[in-house]
Amino acid sequence: MPSYQRPPGTQDILPEDQPYWNRVRSLSKHLAELAGFERIDTPIFEATEVFARGIGQGTDVVDKEMYTFVDKGGRDLTLRPEFTAGVVRAYIENGLHVEVKPQKLYSIGPTFRYDRPQAGRYRQFTQFNAEILGEQDPAADLEIMTLVWDLYAGLGFRDLEFQLNSTGCPRCRPTYVKALKTYYEKHDGEICEDCQRRLERSPLRVLDCKEEQCQPILEKAPRIIDYLCEECAEHFSSLREYLDLLDRRYVLNHRLVRGLDYYTKTVFEVWASGIGAQSALCGGGRYDGLAELLGGPETPGVGVAVGLERIIIMMNELGVKPPAPARPDIFLAYLGRAPRKKCLELMAELRRADVGVYFAMGRERGLRSQLREADKREVRYTIILGENELDSGKAAVRDMKSGDQVDVDLNLLVTWLRERV
Ligand code: AMP
């Protein structure tokens, strides 16, 4: 056992895993920019208050999962457990609300939650996050949903389907909450302890209870979409119409909720089977009350957060192979001090010409050992330079596949190689 191990719930992303990460990062960036999203990077830590208010007391994330610390200046800070609250804070602080509306912003980076580690669930994980700020139009919800759909489809995931619900707004939700509570009061003795607590603090959360004893009760519980006000109902039906129009499949899931008042209207997820207990590939929705809550102007918003680790697990499961990484095609081998120096010059010159190259490191190595390394690195050509070659002004160039060797004039070597790799 090595003396030090990575902390529980973290990962080392080794070179062999990087092609998967590059593929997901570059496709998400490409699709976001294609849809007019612009990148925003916010700090990895924020004042704790930003998340406590922006995600909300009473959520598991804020109550149990935040990495919170006091810095040497006595500030109460937290490693971001998600992006939205920080992005909205930046939107307000930098006056983005006076720019063209809506603002379409995306980010990619690490997020932290003190969660119970298991397959697909980490303490440091990576999110691709997209937000549309300053627009109520259900077309904004559609754009956010299409963005993640296109990402999964582009990676080769099939049989996609959204889980979809509307959670109303502060105008219509209280009527629903009342009906839900009245219904649950009739089943008082039958529900789990957590749900009894939830009914007090965050009643909508009873809907995503996983306890077996609550399931029969949940099945017959009133459904929020039967209680939507005209505006929310109209927003929801437009969104569904647009999803149908673009052939993006969804199922209505009456149990999909977010517990807090500033989450409004649309809520959605995409699920995947086979990622341990964790099946949500992404989660998103509308939060028309959030900016005001963080001290900004009234700003409707809709966004999504996509977990990259879960995507990569899926890619592996489905056998989706990312493109191989670009590695140098050339290896510089030599014998003797002067040839070694010449190879260092060649190395610099080739890289200036944008040609990737390995230099054989280690002093006084035999040619066989250098060629073995070249072989392991799977290069196409090995340049071999000894005193004789240097004197004659030519380098031996070995084609590593065929084993053929040709002499190439040292002055023409860079051009010769550039034409071939
Ligand atoms: P949430 O804000 O909880 O809806 O999370 C958004 C997305 O982030 C989820 O759909 C997951 O893909 C991912 N995610 C959340 N928590 C974790 C975690 N602990 N480990 C890995 N991915 C996570």
- What residue owns the CA closest to ligand 1's atom 10? 282
- The Cα 414–Cα 420 span in angstroms is 10
- In the chain, the N- to C-terminal Cα span, in Å, equals 43
Q: Where are the alpha helices (DSSP H) in 155-256?
A: 173-185, 193-201, 215-219, 230-245
281 lines ligand 1 (CB under 6 A): yes
Confidence of residue 259 (pLDDT cuts 50, 70, 90): low
- The Cα 127–Cα 238 span in angstroms is 28
pLDDT exceeds 60 at position 300: yes
Look up the CATH number of the domain holding residue 375.
Answer: 3.40.50.800
- What residue owns the CA closest to ligand 1's atom 16? 121
- 113 Ramachandran zone, left/alpha/beta (phi>0; psi -120 to 50): beta
- The Cα 162–Cα 154 span in angstroms is 16
115 lines ligand 1 (CB under 6 A): yes
Question: Which of residues 270, 298, 318 is at a domain's end?
Answer: 318
* pLDDT tens digits, 333-357: 999 999 999 999 999 999 999 999 9
Residues 67 and 150 in one domain: yes
Let me know: does 136 contact 298? Beta carbons within 8 Å: no
Q: Is 182 contained in some domain?
A: no
Q: Is 97 contained in some domain?
A: yes
- The Cα 34–Cα 278 span in angstroms is 30
- What residue owns the CA closest to ligand 1's atom 18? 121
Q: Is 92 contained in some domain?
A: yes
Question: Which of residues 318, 341, 370 is at a domain's end?
Answer: 318
Q: Is 83 contained in some domain?
A: yes
% of the chain surpassing 70 pLDDT: 98
Q: Is 62 contained in some domain?
A: yes
- What residue owns the CA closest to ligand 1's atom 4? 283
Question: Which of residues 318, 351, 376 is at a domain's end?
Answer: 318
Query: How far is CA 274 from each of CA 120, 182, 317, 378, rounded to the nearest angstrom?
Result: 10, 37, 8, 35
162 lines ligand 1 (CB under 6 A): no
Residues 249 and 124 in one domain: yes
Write out the residue range of the structural domain in which residue 278 sits. Answer: 15-172+228-318
Percent of the chain as helix, strand, coil, to the nearest 5: 45, 20, 35
Residues 120 and 66 in one domain: yes
Residues 265 and 360 in one domain: no
Q: Which residue's structure tokens are 């977990």?
A: 307
Confidence of residue 275 (pLDDT cuts 50, 70, 90): low
Let me know: does 325 contact 19? Beta carbons within 8 Å: yes
Look up the CATH number of the domain holding residue 109.
Answer: 3.30.930.10
Confidence of residue 161 (pLDDT cuts 50, 70, 90): very high
Residues 271 and 152 in one domain: yes
Residues 235 and 383 in one domain: no
- What residue owns the CA closest to ligand 1's atom 3? 283
Residues 240 and 163 in one domain: yes
Let me know: does 41 contact 70? Beta carbons within 8 Å: no
Task: Please tell me the predicted confidence (pLDDT) of residue 276.
Answer: 56
Residues 243 and 369 in one domain: no
pLDDT exceeds 70 at position 248: yes
Q: Is 285 contained in some domain?
A: yes
Q: What type of residue is 400?
A: M
Q: Note the residue count of the chain.
A: 421
Cis peptide before 102 (omega within 30 of 0): yes
Number of domains in the chain: 2
- The Cα 60–Cα 398 span in angstroms is 61
Q: What is the pTM of this model?
A: 0.92
Q: What type of residue is 1?
A: M
pLDDT exceeds 70 at position 277: no
Task: Please tell me the predicted confidence (pLDDT) of residue 279.
Answer: 79
Ligand 1 mutation pick, 115, 122, 125, max ligand atoms within 8 A of CB: 125
Look at strands 124-133 and 103-112 and give their pairing.
antiparallel
Task: Residue 191: name the closest of 218, 152, 227 by CA.
Answer: 218
* pLDDT tens digits, 72-101: 999 999 999 999 999 999 999 999 999 999
Residues 69 and 157 in one domain: yes
Look at strands 250-252 and 162-166 and give their pairing.
parallel
121 lines ligand 1 (CB under 6 A): yes
Residues 348 and 372 in one domain: yes
Contact residues for 265 (Cβ-Cβ < 8 A; gap 6+): 141, 166, 167, 168, 169, 232, 235, 236, 285, 286, 288
Confidence of residue 258 (pLDDT cuts 50, 70, 90): confident
pLDDT exceeds 80 at position 278: no
Residues 410 and 289 in one domain: no
Task: Please tell me the predicted confidence (pLDDT) of residue 341.
Answer: 97
Q: Which residue's structure tokens are 């999203």?
A: 37
3-state SS class at 286:
strand
Cα 165–Cα 166–Cα 172 angle in degrees, nearest 5:
150
Residues 295 and 153 in one domain: yes
